[in-house]
Amino acid sequence: MAGWIFVLSLVAAIVAVYRPFGDYMYRVVTGTRHNAVERTVYKAVGVDPQAGQTWGVYARSVLAFSAVSLLFLYLFLRVQDKLWLSLGLPAVTDHIAWNTAVSFVTNTNWQAYSGESTMGHFVQMAGLTVQNFVSASVGIAVAVALMRGFAAKKKTLLGNFWVDLTRITLRILLPICVLATLIFMVAGVVQNLSGGTDVTTLTGAAQHVTGGPVASQEAIKELGTNGGGFYNANSAHPFENPTTWTNWLQIFLILLIPFSLPRVFGRMVGQNRQGYAIAAVMAILAIGSIALTVAFENHGGGTVPQAVGSAMEGKETRYGVTGSAVFAAATTLTSTGAVNSFHDSYTALGGMMPMVNMMLGEVAPGGTGSGLYGMLILAVITVFVAGLMVGRTPEYLGKKIGAREMKLASLYFLVTPILVLAGTAVAFATGNNTTALNLGPHGLSEVLYAFTSAANNNGSAFAGITVNTGWWDTALGLAMLLGRFLPLILVLALAGSLAKQQPVPESEGTLPTHQPLFVGMVAGVTVVLVALTFLPALALGPLAEGLS
Q: Is residue 500 part of a domain?
A: no
Burial class (CB in 10 A: 0-12, 13-18, 19+), 44: exposed
pLDDT of residue 315: 85
pLDDT of residue 128: 94
pLDDT of residue 306: 57
User: Which parts of 179-227 are beta strand (E)?
Assistant: 197-200, 206-209
pLDDT of residue 530: 86
User: Torsion angle, CA of 123/164/255/234, rounded to 10 degrees?
Assistant: -10
pLDDT of residue 204: 87
Cα distance between residue 358 and residue 361, in whole Å: 5
Angle, helix 440-455 to helix 516-540, in steps of 10 degrees = 130
Category of 113 on φ-ψ map: left (φ > 0), alpha (ψ -120 to 50) or beta: beta
Q: Is residue 44 part of a domain?
A: yes
Phi, psi at residue 465, to the nearest 5°?
A: -140, 140
Residues 6 or more apart from 62 whose CB is under 8 A from it? Answer: 138, 141, 142, 161, 485, 488, 492
pTM of full prediction above 0.85:
yes
pLDDT of residue 269: 95
Buried (b) or exposed (e) across 274-305, using 16+ Cβ within 10 A? Answer: bbbbbbbbbbbbbeebbebbbebbbbbbbeeb
Q: Is residue 293 part of a domain?
A: no
Ranges of the chain with pLDDT below 70 = 300-310
Cα distance between residue 337 and residue 371, in whole Å: 14
Q: Is the peptide bond before 365 cis (omega within 30 degrees of 0)?
A: yes
Q: Is residue 335 part of a domain?
A: no
Domain tally, the chain: 1
Q: Is residue 104 part of a domain?
A: yes
Amino acid at 275: G
* pLDDT digits 0-9 by tens, 407-427: 999 999 999 999 999 999 999
Q: Is residue 369 part of a domain?
A: no
Q: Is residue 9 part of a domain?
A: yes
Residue 208 domain boundaries: 1-269
Separation of CA 168 from chain center: 17
Amino acid at 441: P
pLDDT of residue 198: 86
pLDDT of residue 307: 57
Buried (b) or exposed (e) across 216-237, using 16+ Cβ within 10 A? Answer: bbbbbbbbbbbbbbbbebbbbb
Q: Is residue 69 part of a domain?
A: yes
pLDDT of residue 220: 96
pLDDT of residue 123: 94
pLDDT of residue 354: 94
Largest CA distance in the chain: 78
pLDDT of residue 528: 92
